[in-house]
Amino acid sequence: MRYLLLLLVALGMAGCSSTPDPEVASKLEVSMVEPVVEPESSAPSVEDIISVYKQWKGVPYRMGGTSQRGVDCSAFAREVFRDALGIELPRSTRSQVQEGTRVAKNDLVEGDLVFFRINRRLNHVGIYIGNGEFIHASTTKGVTRSRLDDSYWRGKFWQARRVNI
């Protein structure tokens, strides 16, 4: 038994000193590397956005409003970004249009800010939720969903911005 143990130790040491077959060595190295873990997607969760929207749906529009008693478009966008995405947006549309990077209308993804020029002095903001729809605080309908291809909004579209998450 003692000789058998010595023989196994000797064989083990001899195996350590030999040069491994290169093909086997490369397979061993690959198997010892930790798997690459892809970072989580930085795309916002549309479910989280819709969840916040449902809490605000129907709240009337009020210029300068920031509460459930009345809210304007930029305050609504700010609330959605804060509650659904954990991002603090500036309070005004004028400041929000400076956030993130500009994206083409045909490259929109859920969570992009969409901006409209209502007239020379008035802008409007909403949040794209996919399938050609956006959520916003409408002056006539309060917090609601609308379509980008609606004749009114299509003619007023100005630009879209993607805020880095």
Burial pattern 90-121, b for ≥16 Cβ within 10 A else e, equals: eeebeebbebbeebeeeebebbbbbbbeeeee
Residues annotated as part of the active site: 73, 124, 136
Specify the 3-state DSSP secondary structure of 80.
Answer: helix
**Amino acid at site 16:** C
Contacts of residue 130, defined as CB under 8 A and 6 or more positions apart, other chains included, come to 46, 109, 110
